[in-house]
Structures are given as C-alpha cells and as structure tokens.
Structure 1
Amino acid sequence: MIPLVAVGHGSRDPRSAATVSELLGVVRALDPGLDVRAAFLDLSAPRLVDVLGAVSGDGHREAVVVPLLLGSAFHARVDVPNAISEAVSRYPRLSVRIAEVLGPDPRLESAALRRLAAAGVRLDDPSVGVVLAGAGSSHAPANALVSAVARRWAGGARWAGAVEAFAAAADPTVPAAISALRAAGARRIAVASWFLAPGLLPDRVAEQARAAAGDVVVAQPLGADIDVAELVLHRYQAALSCRVAARSA
C-alpha cells in the first residue's frame, strides 16, 4: 500500500508534535493496514524530506503527502512543494503526490463545534458571542475561509453573534472581535479554535481573549478528533483516485 505521509507545520512547543501523533493514531485505527508516517516542515522532527527518504529507503516507489494545514496559505503553496521537490531530487525513484489541504471541509467545522461544546458552550445560548480564531495569513483567500465559517455559524446558531479573528497578519484581532460581539449584545464570550494543535499562536489567542474578557471560555484546538482523522484519510484517498484516473486516461 502506498504510504500516507502527513506533514504538519511544526512547532517548538512539544504539545504540537504530540497532538499530530495522537491524530495519526486515530487515522491508523480507522485504516489499520495503511502505512501512516508523520513529518514536519520546520521546528519539529522528523522533517518531510527525511521521512520521504525513509519511504524510498524502505523500497516504496510512491507516496502521498497530506498537508495537515487548515487552509491554502504560504506553507501549502510554497513550503510543501519545495520540500517535496528537494526530496524527489534526492530520491529520483520516488514519485510523490500532494493531497489537498484539510480545509475547507464541514468536518473541520464539526470538530471545532465539538470542542466548543466540550468547553460548555451551547448552540442555543443567546447570551454567548463566539470568536472563531485562526492563525491569520497575508494570503487573503485563506482568511476568507475562516470568515465564511464564522458567517455560517452566525446564521445557524442562536448565539448573540459569531465573528472571525486572527492571531497575526490579518484583521480583526481577537480583542476587536470581542468588542464587536459585546456591542452586538453578547454577555459571555467563547473562543472557538481554528487551529489543529496547541502552540504559540493558540496560546496568543487565549492570552488576548482573557485580557479582553476575563471570564472568556477558550476551546481546545481540533486535535485528534475523529472527523479530522477521517478527513486526512479522505484527502489521501482522493489523491490516489486522481492518480488512478490519470493513469487510466
């Protein structure tokens, strides 16, 4: 079977790599026969180039790389292809296909809502305003995906409101989003996470939220959620289907 190499961004925070490991454990449980390997772009080990080298060294001639990224920003558009190009130049007998990033997909939204529910937030509580907090990017379409999720939530729940916010590189900031929700009548604030794993930016979001609203509820990152694991497998299988279709054409 063609290996699935799941590549995360990487972080100096050890919780990030641990969360990726937990998520891939769920993926393996869903498909026990699949060769699933973890890799990272930066700051964590093993690096993607090294993992693809190990795949080649084990005798495989093909691999599918699934980016554990929630949107198609710089890391997806530049870092992942560059790392794969480097690997293929080192290991020319290895053919590598890149799957789509995880977002957008309704399964991510389901996972984020479950994290909110686990933090004690109900969909039918009109006193609550929800901030959907993501990393932020200079690539506007990546931010627009988060904004679209917040708009759907605002229309589908009975909350006082739901708005997007970003930890860096984009507006609104978390404090600005909280101010907007307060102005809309929210008496309580909850922050939903549009992050896969803990790390510097999720911690920044939590700190900013608590500084702006002392009793704020902050949900955990998506992590090893069953929907996220199923989505990883779906991206892998879709990449394989494209490969088969291309060979059949």
Structure 2
Amino acid sequence: MPRPALLAVSHGTSDVAGAAAIALLVRRVAERLPDVAVHSGFVDVQEPDAPTALAAVDGPVVVVPLLLSQGFHVRVDLGGAARARSNAVVTDPLGPDPRLAEVLALRLAEAPAPGADADADADADGPVVLAVAGSRDPRSLPDAEAMAAQLGARLRRPVVPAYLAAREPSLADALAAHPGAPVATYLLAHGYFFDVAERVAGSALTEPLLDDGEPPAPLVDLVVDRYLAGAARIADPPPSGR
C-alpha cells in the first residue's frame, strides 16, 4: 500500500532567495522519503494555495505546516481544508522544537564576532533577543515563549522574545532595553519579516533558519518526523468521538 503523500505548506514569499531556500528544503525532505509523493503549497503570496494543492493530491495526505507556531494559518487555513477530507491530517507546525534551537544556536555561532571593544567579554553571558514574526492568534504566544526558553537552555543565557508585528515588545523596544544584544532570527527564510528585522537590528541580526546554503540537517529531520507522525495517525486513526 502506498505511503500517504506529504504536502509541505509554507507561508509563501516574494523574496526570490527565500522561496528558493524553502523549495530546497522540500527537495531534501523528498530525498529522505523516496517512496513518498511530496508536494508544495502556500498560505499566501505564492501558488498553488493550500486548498488547491490539497485538492490536487489523490489518496491519503499528511499536511506539514512549514510554519513556526500555531496560529490562524494552521488552525483555519490548513485545518479547514483538511477537515473536508477523511484521509488528510495536519501535523503540528515546526515549532517549538529543540532542533530549531539547535539551528538558531548555529546561526548565532556563524554571525560575525562583535567588535573588539572593552565590553565584548562582559556581554558573552548577556541576553539574546529572539526575533519572532508575531501573530494575533493567542496560540502563537506560548509557542514563541517556549522557543525562547529552549534556546536559552541551549545557550545557557537569557533569551528575550521580541515581535515584528502584532505583539509587544517590539524588536526595537527589546533592543533599546538590551543594547548590544545579538538577535536570533526566528524566521524560516528571507522575506518580508526578515527585511523588517534587518531595518531595526542591522548587523546584530543572524541569518534565518534557512540561508542560501544547504538546509540544516536538524531542520530536514524535523520535517520528516512531522510527516512520520502524521502518517502514523492516518494508519491508526483514533476511535470516532475522540
């Protein structure tokens, strides 16, 4: 019996580099799952949109949101589309997850070293600001705070979440409260929100989870594991009424 298809749904971006990085991630996932039909869809900006992409897939399908938290897109856009089919499931989004903390720590390590000033060593244990896109959906807030806590545990230093839209503190306010703090970019790829963050943080900003190179292995692993969890739900659905 064929394995369920995988529909990887990202937000979508008009940034050419960001779109290419996400497409490469999906290709690497497909290479890890050679017996699975892997498709792409989007909730905004790019085509096909998620309902169109889902309708084009025959048979059982696992929808994996390439999104970093719960929110409107996962709950309404993807959840609504999947509920119309008895053989489709939507997995958890990618975050929060310790593997994302691993990639965020990698990006911080790759960032240019601070200038050789007298206070550079004093800031080594200081706070890191986590730049989050932000959402009005209340489900997104605990996800962002959990991701900050996981990164803080990995770095053994405080991590302060800051938001690029919809919530407070803003990235500008967080940097005013913590001058000189490095900014870990909690975004999947280059695009609108990265540009917003860069205008505020400048050189303090790290690359997003996906840069212009190979997708980090922990991120590929995470998408594959989300698919496998969804496929298990299709293979062994809960009794009706649960």
Instruction: Report whether the alignment pairs 1:201 with 2:187.
Output: no
Q: Give the Cα–Cα distance (whole angstroms) in 2 for the partners of residues 243 and 226 of structure 1.
A: 26
Decide whether aligned partners of structure 1 residues 108 and 153 sit closer, same or farther in structure 2, where only a CA change above 3 A counts: closer
Contact 1:121 1:190 in 2 (8 A): no
Contact 1:167 1:205 in 2 (8 A): yes
Contact 1:125 1:158 in 2 (8 A): no
Matches within 5 A, 1:39-118: 39-56=41-58, 61-85=59-83, 88=85, 95-118=87-110
Q: Which moved more, 1:125-134 or 1:169-178?
A: 125-134
Paired amino acid for 1:14: V
Q: Which moved more, 1:8-17 or 1:173-182?
A: 8-17
Contact 2:183 2:205 in 1 (8 A): yes
The match for 2:216 among 198, 220, 225 is: 225
Contact 1:162 1:181 in 2 (8 A): no
Q: Which structure features the higher share of helix residues?
A: 1
Matches within 5 A, 1:7-46: 7-46=9-48
Q: TM-score, structure 2 length as denominator?
A: 0.83
- CA drift of 1:50 comes to 2.6
Q: TM-score, structure 1 length as denominator?
A: 0.81
- CA drift of 1:221 comes to 1.1
SS of structure 2 residue aligned to 1:34:
coil
Decide whether aligned partners of structure 1 residues 48 and 155 sit closer, same or farther in structure 2, where only a CA change above 3 A counts: closer
Q: Which moved more, 1:71-80 or 1:142-151?
A: 142-151
| Unmatched tracts of structure 2, length 5 or more | 115-119
Instruction: Report whether the alignment pairs 1:119 with 2:121.
Output: no
Paired amino acid for 2:137: H
Structure 1 counterpart of 2:117 = none
Structure 1 counterpart of 2:230 = 239
Structure 2 counterpart of 1:179 = 176
Contact 2:87 2:234 in 1 (8 A): no
- CA drift of 1:53 comes to 3.0
Structure 2 counterpart of 1:170 = 167
Q: Give the Cα–Cα distance (whole angstroms) in 1 for the partners of residues 55 and 28 of structure 2.
A: 24
- CA drift of 1:126 comes to 4.5
Contact 2:105 2:151 in 1 (8 A): no
- CA drift of 1:136 comes to 0.7
Structure 2 counterpart of 1:213 = none
Decide whether aligned partners of structure 1 residues 247 and 136 sit closer, same or farther in structure 2, where only a CA change above 3 A counts: closer
SS of structure 2 residue aligned to 1:140:
coil
- CA drift of 1:198 comes to 1.1
Q: Give the Cα–Cα distance (whole angstroms) in 1 for the partners of residues 103 and 152 of structure 2.
A: 17
| Unmatched tracts of structure 1, length 5 or more | 89-93, 183-187, 211-215
- CA drift of 1:35 comes to 1.7
Contact 2:7 2:61 in 1 (8 A): yes
Paired amino acid for 2:95: G
Q: Give the Cα–Cα distance (whole angstroms) in 1 for the partners of residues 121 and 7 of structure 2.
A: 41
Contact 1:174 1:205 in 2 (8 A): yes
Paired amino acid for 1:69: L
Q: Give the Cα–Cα distance (whole angstroms) in 2 for the partners of residues 152 and 99 of structure 1.
A: 21
SS of structure 1 residue aligned to 2:181:
strand
How many residues get paired? 227
Contact 2:94 2:222 in 1 (8 A): yes
Percent identity between matched residues is 33
SS of structure 2 residue aligned to 1:22:
helix
Decide whether aligned partners of structure 1 residues 24 and 152 sit closer, same or farther in structure 2, where only a CA change above 3 A counts: closer
Contact 1:6 1:68 in 2 (8 A): yes
